[in-house]
Amino acid sequence: MTQHTLEIVVTCDEGYLGPLRTMLLSLRANNRAVSIRVWLLHRGIPQAALESLALFCGRIEIELAPRMVDQALFAHARSSERYPQEMYYRMLAPHVIDADIDRALYLDPDILIINPLTPLFDIELGDRIFAAASHTDAIHPATALNNVRLNTSELYFNTGVILMDMPRAKALIDPDEIFAFAMEHERKLLFPDQDIFNALYSECTLPVPDQVWNFDARKYPDNIIRTGGEATLDWVINNTAILHFCGRDKPWAPKYRGQFAALYKHYATLARRI
C-alpha cells in the first residue's frame, strides 16, 4: 500500500516542544515528496505555545493536529510521577484521534529522521497490527529476562517508534485492560509504558530492523560489531531512517558528546532559525 499522507503521532508536554520542532524539521527535510500531518496528543499545552508550534509547522509545510486527551479516559488509571498519564497516550492514540486514517506512526520527540519513511508505511503487516524494532538480539540475555518478567515469548520492542494499523488497533486496544495491567503489575514494570505494550501486544507486532527504523544512537559502536563492521557512519547516514537518542543523555544538552551530536545540533539550529 502507498499512503499519500504520512500520519505521525507524537506526545509531549510544553517542555519538549523544542526537541519536537527539531524532529519535525528533520522529518520534513527528508520526506519532501509527501504530505505530512502530525497529531500532537497532550494534556494541556498552553494555547500560545500551540499557536507558535502551528506557525512553525506551517512554515515547513506540515499540518499540525493537536488533540487534548479527554481526562475521562483516565478515571480508572494508575497515575503518578512514575506513571504519568502521557505514558499511555501512544497506546490510546487509535481511540483519541478522530479521523479515518489507515496507518499512523508514533514517534518519540528525541528522534531525528534522516531518510524517507514511506518504505515503513508501505510495509506488509500481514496479520500483525503493529510494527516496531527491538534493541536487543533474540539471543541477548535481556530478551530472556524480559520474556520471563512479562510472561511473553516475543522480542522486547522499543516503543519510541510504533507503526499502527489504526482501525485494527482501535478494535484491539481496550483502555481499561491497559490500566488494569498497570495496576496489577506495578512492581514488575521497569519501563512502564514499554513493558505494558510488550506484555499486551508483542504477539501482534511485526519486528523491523532497528538499524534502519529505530537506531539507538548510544549503541553506534555495538552496532558496528553486531553487523560485522557494516553499520559504519556512512552506512547509517545512507540507510538509517530513524535515529533515536534513547536514554537520559539527550543531544540538546550542552555536554552531550555522542557520535551524532553534530548532526543533531545541525537540525536543531535550522529549527531555531525558522
Quick: pLDDT tens for 257-267.
Answer: 999 999 999 99
**pLDDT: which is higher, 227 or 117:** 117
pLDDT tens readout for residues 38-55: 999 999 999 999 999 999
Q: Give the N- to C-terminal CA distance of the chain in Å, as an integer.
A: 34
Range(s) of the domain holding residue 48: 5-273
Domain of residue 157, CATH code: 3.90.550.10
Residue 240 CA, distance from chain mean position: 15
Element (H, E) at 67: strand 63-68
Could you give the maximum distance between any two Cα atoms of the chain, in Å? 51
| pLDDT given for residue 48 in this prediction | 98
Kindly indicate the confidence band of residue 15, based on its pLDDT and cuts at 50, 70 and 90: very high
Average pLDDT rounded to a whole number, residues 248-257: 94
Share of the chain above pLDDT 90, in %: 71
- The residue assigned the cell 532497528 is 210
Q: Distance between CA atoms of 232 and 234, rounded to whole angstroms?
A: 5
Q: Is 113 helix (H, G, I), strand (E, B) or coil?
A: strand
Average pLDDT rounded to a whole number, residues 227-231: 86
Number of domains the chain contains: 1
